[in-house]
Amino acid sequence: MSRDPKDPLSAEIDAALEGVDLQNLDPRSEAAAGAKPAAKSKSKPSNVRPGTIAGVTGDDVFVELGPRMQGVCSLKEFDEKPAVGATFEFTLHGREDELWILSRKEVLALAAWDEVEAGSLVKARISGQNTGGLEAKVGPMSAFLPASQVALRHEENLAQFIGQTLTCQVLEVDRDRKRILLSRRAILEKEREDAVKESLGRLSAGQQIKGKVTRVESFGGFVDLGGGIEGLVHVSQISRRRIEDAKSALAPGQEVQAVITEIKDGGKRIGLSMKALEPDPWDTASSRYAPDSVISGKVTRLADFGAFVEVEPGLEGLLHVSAMAKDRVRRPGDYVKVGETITVRVAAIEASKRRISLSRLDPRGAVLGSEEAVEASVIDEALQKNAAVPAKTNLGNLFKKALGDKKS
Q: What is the tens place of the pLDDT at every residue in 38-50?
A: 334 444 566 788 9
Q: What pLDDT does residue 254 have?
A: 94
Q: Which residue has the higher pLDDT, 116 or 19?
A: 116
Whether the per-residue pLDDT at 119 is higher than 60: the answer is yes
* φ, ψ (nearest 5 deg) of residue 247: -65, -20
Confidence of residue 376 (pLDDT cuts 50, 70, 90): low
Q: What pLDDT does residue 141 have?
A: 74
In CATH, 281-359 is 2.40.50.140: yes
Q: What pLDDT does residue 401 have?
A: 53
Q: What pLDDT does residue 390 have?
A: 53
Do 369 and 341 touch, CB atoms closer than 8 A? no
Read off the pTM. 0.47
Per CATH, the number for 8-42+110-189 is 2.40.50.140
pLDDT in tens, 244-301: 899 999 999 999 999 999 988 777 789 999 999 988 899 889 989 999 999 999 999 9
Q: What pLDDT does residue 20 have?
A: 55
Residue spans of the domains in the chain: they are 8-42+110-189, 48-107, 201-277, 281-359, 371-407
SS3 130: strand
Kindly report which listed range (142-151, 259-268, 335-344) carries the lowest average pLDDT score.
259-268
Long-range contacts formed by 279-288: CB under 8 A, 24+ apart: 279/240, 280/240, 280/314, 281/240, 281/312, 281/313, 281/314, 281/315, 282/314, 282/315, 282/351, 282/354, 283/351, 285/315, 285/349, 285/351, 285/356, 286/349, 286/351
Instruction: Tell me if domain 48-107 and domain 281-359 are identical in fold.
Output: yes
Percent of the chain past pLDDT 70, that is, above it, reads 77
Percent of the chain past pLDDT 90, that is, above it, reads 38
Per CATH, the number for 48-107 is 2.40.50.140
Whether the per-residue pLDDT at 320 is higher than 90: the answer is yes
Confidence of residue 382 (pLDDT cuts 50, 70, 90): low
Report the alpha-carbon distance of residue 104 to residue 71 in Å, rounded: 12
Architecture of domain 201-277: Beta Barrel (2.40)
